[in-house]
């Protein structure tokens, strides 16, 4: 069984920070480009960030605030989210492969709520 599991979501005030984790089992994340997506209430799912073997990419709405990274030893991809805004609220998912746009693997999602 190939699996991605997200964690790290929660409730945070505007301006706060969270770090999301995406842990893979059954396959090596080094061979995939891992993306983070989110879906807010009443909105379509949108891409947030993608990390390949050499590059990272971010949606304009999060550029400068979010950082995606990879820990190969732990088979984990992280999304560090800083200066969170109300509009960042949503369910966050990790998936592969964002380079090709073909997503064979999805996590179950983790809820991020930004509220004062």
Q: With a cut of 80, say whether residue 24 has pLDDT above it.
A: yes
Per-residue pLDDT tens over the stretch 49-86? 999 988 999 999 999 999 999 999 999 999 999 999 99
Q: With a cut of 90, say whether residue 114 has pLDDT above it.
A: yes
Exposure of 39 in the CB half-sphere (CA atoms within 13 A): 8
Q: What is the pLDDT of residue 27?
A: 85
Q: What is the pLDDT of residue 1?
A: 73
Neighbouring CB atoms inside 10 A of 11's CB total: 12
């Amino acid at each position: 069984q190939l699996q991605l599991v997200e964690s790290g979501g929660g409730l945070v005030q505007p301006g706060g920070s969270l770090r999301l984790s995406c842990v893979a089992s059954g396959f090596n994340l080094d061979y995939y480009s891992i993306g983070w997506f989110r879906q807010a209430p009443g909105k379509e799912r949108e891409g947030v960030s993608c990390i390949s073997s050499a590059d990272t990419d971010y949606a304009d709405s999060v550029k400068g605030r979010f950082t995606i990274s990879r820990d190969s030893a732990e088979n984990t991809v992280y999304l560090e989210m800083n200066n969170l805004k109300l509009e960042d609220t949503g369910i966050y998912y990790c998936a592969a492969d964002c380079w090709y746009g073909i997503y064979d693997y999805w996590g179950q999602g983790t809820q991020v709520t930004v509220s004062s």
